[in-house]
Each structure stands twice: as structure tokens, then as C-alpha cells.
Amino acid sequence: MSEQELFAIDQLSFAYGLRPVLDNISLTITPGRFYGIVGPNGCGKTTFLDLLSGGRRPAGGTIRFLGRPLPAYPKRQLARQLALVPQEFDTGFGFTVEEIVLMGRHPHIDRFASPGPEDWRQVDLALERIGIGDLRHRLTGTLSGGQKQRAVVARALAQNTPVLLLDEATASLDIQYTLQIFNLARLLVEDEGRTVVAVVHDLNLAAAYCDQLFFLRDGEIHRSGAVAATMTAETIAEVFGVTCQVGWNDFSQARQLSYRYRSHGGITAAPSPAGLGGSDGA
């Protein structure tokens, strides 16, 4: 194992029943970087993140985390290393925001023990970082969808793990809070050396914040590498079937994409790659 190897993924495959979703994926994830997983609906992005988190078992291939097979980790031990913000999370109606965020501390609290000073410090810090301290005593059933989503992100932050997995973490948020969370994730990588692996639908956000990108298409890694090398008009046409221009934007200080949205009353698109897409949102 390389000293800088966090995840080592070898010939990974997964299927829902007889329907294959991921096939023969091999890649390495190293610490202290922001990774983006991008690709069309149904290509397996969420499934891939579920496999990384240990929430699902591969049909074939292996995932090693810090040199050990991922299934070898007890759930509690793994939860001290990996925090997941899922695409969907039922916050229920009987919990306050504070209680939801405190759930992130459960892997660190001994059985039958009460939260200690460090647990409450992490809860307070997470609430502050996400800017929802004023909501801490609100029942989650009274919150908007965006407020619930921010509480779930705070829950993962309170878990205080070296690795943060984000599955569409900002899907229900407006641009202000989307940028807030991406800025925070970027700071965690740069200032604290943490690793972020995020499923990102917005390609401009992926280009602006990520260090490395994995382009998934038809359940396979179509292209991977640094943003400048992978976020190209050719890749976007091959993976998404749309035409675009990709270049440096001085205002955003990031590589960004521009689309020709309409042409003769219709949406301009490149020829669709064979087998592209799906409808399950994975």
C-alpha cells in the first residue's frame, strides 16, 4: 500500500438484481484532496458513494480503506473515519436540529454514556459553521427542505471525520448556502487536510472546487484526473451529450463552462453517446 493511499478500489462492480450499475472500476483516492464524481443521471454516482461508505457491498472487486478491506471495519470504527451526507435523510418529526446534529457524535460516545464536553463543542462548531445556531431548538418537522439539508450537513461535520462523503449535499439549497457549504468543504481540505468526495451535478461547481474528477458513464470510469485535464468540451460531449465551451473565468477565478442554451427554438446538444443516461438518479 502506498503511504498516501486512502481508498484503493480494484475492479469494483455492483448490480441491483440483474441490472448492472457499476462495472470494473479501479482507482485510487489519496488524502487531502477534493474529489468530484460527475456524470449523467443513472450512471451509478450515488451507488459508488454508498459503496465507499460501506453502506453497500460490492458484487465484485474490492475496496480497501487505509490498507484494510472495507468490510473488515466494525461499523462504529468506520463511522469515526467516514461521514456521509446522503441524498435523502429522514429527519423525522420528533427531533430538534440540535438532536439531529448530535447524532453525528454517536460513534464517539461510549454505549450508555452521555455526551461529553467535546461532543457538545463539535455540535456547537458544526451549527456555527453551517450558520443554523438559531435553529438548534426547532423541531425538524417545522423546517424547510433547505434548512433540513443544512442540519444534515452539520450532523456530518459534527462527526468530525478525516473523510467527508457528500451525495448531492446542496441539491435543495439556494446559491448562497450552496457556496457556503462548498467553501467550507474546500477549507476543510486546505486547512485541515481532510478528504472530500462529492457527487456533484453542477459542472461549474465541480470545476471551481474540486482537485480531481471522476467522470462516470454507463457504470464505468470514462475519464479521471485533474480538473484542467478532464473538464474539457470533448469530455462533456462524450459523457453528457451536450456541446459547451470550457475556459478560465477571471471573475470566478475558476475553470467554467458555457452552454449555447437555445438554437432555432430547441436546446443545442451533441449526439447522445450510446447507452447514455438512465432514470433512477443514481
Domain boundaries of the chain, sorted by first residue:
7-81+161-259
Residue 265 banded pLDDT, cuts 50, 70, 90: low
Distance between CA 70 and CA 74 in Å, rounded?
Answer: 9
Q: Where are the alpha helices (DSSP H) in the chain?
A: 45-53, 75-79, 97-102, 117-130, 145-159, 175-192, 203-209, 227-230, 233-240
pLDDT higher than 50, residue 209: yes
Residue 267 banded pLDDT, cuts 50, 70, 90: low
Pairing assessment for the beta strands 60-65 and 7-16 based on DSSP bridges: antiparallel
Residue 223, beta-bridge partner list: 215
pLDDT for position 232: 97
CATH class of 7-81+161-259: alpha beta
pLDDT for position 263: 63
Global pTM reads 0.90
